[in-house]
Structure 1
């Protein structure tokens, strides 16, 4: 799966947080959080703007897209958009377990909180790792 296939995936949900840090700090923290995440590969990497990960397994094909927008106050609005397809009967059961129980939403909100807290504390600026490749 690559970036061209993301728009075809059905929309699942979206979560947003405001961060008192610039987009560079948020970008670095977001990249560090997702670095080495199992089951995901980078599909889109536009520093300071968008970072999209895609993945696939027998029960679903999915994308997690992070959008970063600078706020007028100098902070960052970070939005996490999930798109996924759950084919067949097993996919429907898997969707019920992951999406229907609210587990997915909890994990995504936890990720956003972690990025928000770390970037606001200036940790993103201290990272020496480059952002993920395109």
Structure 2
């Protein structure tokens, strides 16, 4: 039983999150970073492009590592590595680019414009 938290962002910088459970989430299993999927999965029309994600323990997915497994990789820049000097490399634990049941969060970009519902403003007037 797969449960995913999708973080969807559009081109204008708006983002929202949706949770997919069980049968709805099974559509995404096996897809890679960079693949497109129909946005009807989350109730939108258009396409969603998978841009990344992380697993249940917070390990990021990296697009150049094939498969679903965690691997210790020697990297010099990019996803999974911060604040390194020029020429420095580090060995980091990274998740592969394929979505499996171990993935918790999936980051997606939406080709349309998101309509985000704002919470009603509360009146803070004191009588």
- The TM-score range, normalised by the shorter chain, is under 0.3
Alignment TM-score, normalising by the size of structure 2: 0.22
Higher helix share goes to which structure? 1
Alignment TM-score, normalising by the size of structure 1: 0.21
